[in-house]
């Protein structure tokens, strides 16, 4: 309150604030995110949505970014992509994955397979994404989800469950293209409906199922929003959908601050290839929409002529946590959705638990046989 009467204090406070802000901007502009307090590297912290120093817990505000923009898609648009600045690429000699790191970071391990056989590449790191969906699940949180997931796996060894919180996990962004499009199509469909008839006489009297066939045609239209196509070498489309997809509508414009402390995979499939994949996905959705119009028991064929217009795309990085660990000389991998914590993957099955189940099933069968022999034979 007193400050209001003393312009000097306000002035000096403003100066301190200004200086702080300048320092913050300097940190963010420099692309080397160093802690203003201790000089160590800052990484993106999903919990506070700020940059955080791992050593002294200092938090630094992020630079404000807009939402990721939809860009018009047409052939050759990929040539207009800009080069990815402020990152360097590394390649895993073991699994071949090419990932990006903030320029100042060094990687000890491949985020996908855990191998330490890594080389830095001199080539340009590829094209810069126009959007990024930052991690929402932190490293601590993902271990809670992982533990819970393992708990539900009754065949997983006790030892593994016990050590779940110690399993190493790596945060990595994978490349995804999303497409919006208006689809207009025409189609013809041949479908059948079953009916039963009674045939024969006397002893031969019986019912038979027959099919009545229909031919129809029509028009269909549908707007697709953010059809997600993986452009990754390490994650396939099936895995992407198993992960439950990503809320790409909430993506921010790309900024290096979000990958600080993580790595990001370079895209492996081109924009045009990915659009062809999107068309396959959208065509199959349209086909299902057509079929659902008819109360058919069987569909012979659906011929479609779909045209896709007003196509826009986003090239977005989405976050996943990768667990890769050795258990009794075998490597296992699990991945978690960095937005929802959903986990999919393989886990070692305890031979002890499996043999216990085999024995238990065997015992039930033996008992059944014994009862059968004793009472029914």
Q: What is the contact surface with Zn ion in residues (CB under 5 A)? A: 35, 37-38, 40, 53, 55-56, 58, 92, 94-95, 97, 110, 112-113, 115
* Sign of CA pseudo-dihedral 53, 59, 62, 63: negative
Q: Which residue's CB is nearer to Zn ion, number 110 or number 243?
A: 110
Residue 85 tokens read as: 């600045």
Q: Which of residues 35 and 227 has its CB atom nearest to Zn ion in the complex?
A: 35
For residues 119 and 94, is the Cβ–Cβ distance under 8 A? no
Q: How far is the CB of 119 from Zn ion (least distance, A)?
A: 11
Q: Which helix H or strand E contains 371, and what residues bound it?
A: helix 351-376
Residue 128 beta carbon to Zn ion: minimum distance, rounded to whole angstroms: 23
Reference 112, options 254, 262, 274, 257; nearest CA is 262
Judge contact between 137 and 336, C-beta under 8 A: yes
Q: Is 347 left (phi over 0), alpha (psi -120 to 50) or beta?
A: beta
For residue 72, count CB atoms less than 10 angstroms from its CB and return exposed for 0-12, middle for 13-18, buried for 19 or more.
exposed
Closer residue to Zn ion in complex, CB, 224/323: 323
Give 226: exposed, middle or buried? Use CB within 10 Å, 0-12, 13-18, 19+: buried
Distant-in-sequence, close-in-space partners of 225: CB < 8 Å, separation ≥ 6: 180, 249
Q: Closer to Zn ion at the Cβ: 49 or 58?
A: 58
Minimal distance in Å, beta carbon 324 to Zn ion?
Answer: 8
- Taking the complex as a whole, the smallest distance from the CB of residue 326 to Zn ion amounts, in Å, to 14
Nearer to Zn ion, 51 or 290 (CB): 51
Sign of the Cα pseudo-torsion (141, 63, 126, 132, in order): positive
Contact 170, 109 (CB under 8 A): yes
Least gap, CB of 339 to Zn ion (angstroms): 23
Sheet-wide strand order for 50-53: 42-45, 50-53, 59-60
CA distance 337 to 321: 7
State the virtual CA torsion across 107, 110, 111, 112 in degrees, nearest 10. Answer: 170
- Number of neighbouring beta carbons within 10 Å of residue 61: 15
Cβ-based nearer residue to Zn ion, 126 or 131: 126
CB 278 within 8 A of CB 177: yes
Is the Cβ of residue 71 or residue 115 nearer to Zn ion in the bound state? 115
To Zn ion, the closest distance from the beta carbon of 110 in angstroms equals: 3
The neighbour count for residue 128, using CB atoms within 10 Å, is 17
Q: Is 70 helix (H, G, I), strand (E, B) or coil?
A: coil
Task: Indicate the residue among 92 and 142 with the shorter CB distance to Zn ion.
Answer: 92
**Cβ proximity to Zn ion, 306 vs 324, nearer residue:** 324
- Cα separation, 200 vs 246, in Å, equals 59
**C-beta of 167 vs 184, nearer to Zn ion:** 167
């Amino acid at each position: 309150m007193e400050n209001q009467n003393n312009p000097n204090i306000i002035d000096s406070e403003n100066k301190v604030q200004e200086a702080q802000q300048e320092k913050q901007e300097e940190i963010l502009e420099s692309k080397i995110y160093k802690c203003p307090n201790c000089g160590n590297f800052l990484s993106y912290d999903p919990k506070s949505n700020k940059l955080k120093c791992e050593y002294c817990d200092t938090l630094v505000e992020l630079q404000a970014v807009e939402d990721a923009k939809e860009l018009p898609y047409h052939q050759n648009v990929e040539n207009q992509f800009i080069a990815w600045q402020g990152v360097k690429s590394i390649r895993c000699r073991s699994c071949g994955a090419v990932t990006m790191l903030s320029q100042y970071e060094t990687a000890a391990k491949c985020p996908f397979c855990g191998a330490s056989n890594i080389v830095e590449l001199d080539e340009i790191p590829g094209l810069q994404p126009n959007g990024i969906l930052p991690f929402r699940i932190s490293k601590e949180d993902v271990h809670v989800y992982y533990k819970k997931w393992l708990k539900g796996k009754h065949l997983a060894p006790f030892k593994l469950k016990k050590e779940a919180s110690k399993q190493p996990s790596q945060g990595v962004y994978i490349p995804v293209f999303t497409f919006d499009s208006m689809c207009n199509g025409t189609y013809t469909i041949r479908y059948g409906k079953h009916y039963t008839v009674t045939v024969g006489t006397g002893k031969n009297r019986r019912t038979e199922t027959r099919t009545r066939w229909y031919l129809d045609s029509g028009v269909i239209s549908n707007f697709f929003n953010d059809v997600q196509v993986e452009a990754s070498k390490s994650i396939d489309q099936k895995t992407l959908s198993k992960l439950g997809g990503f809320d790409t509508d909430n993506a921010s414009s790309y900024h290096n601050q979000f990958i600080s402390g993580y790595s990001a995979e370079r895209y492996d499939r081109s924009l045009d290839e990915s659009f062809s994949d999107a068309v396959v996905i959208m065509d199959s959705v349209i086909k299902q929409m057509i079929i659902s119009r008819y109360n058919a028991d069987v569909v012979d064929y659906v011929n479609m002529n779909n045209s896709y217009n007003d196509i826009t795309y986003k090239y977005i990085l989405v976050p996943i946590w990768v667990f890769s660990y050795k258990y009794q000389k075998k490597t296992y991998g699990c991945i978690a959705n960095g937005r929802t914590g959903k986990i999919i993957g393989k886990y070692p099955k305890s031979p002890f638990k499996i043999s216990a189940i085999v024995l238990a099933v065997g015992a039930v069968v033996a008992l059944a046989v014994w009862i059968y022999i004793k009472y029914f034979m």
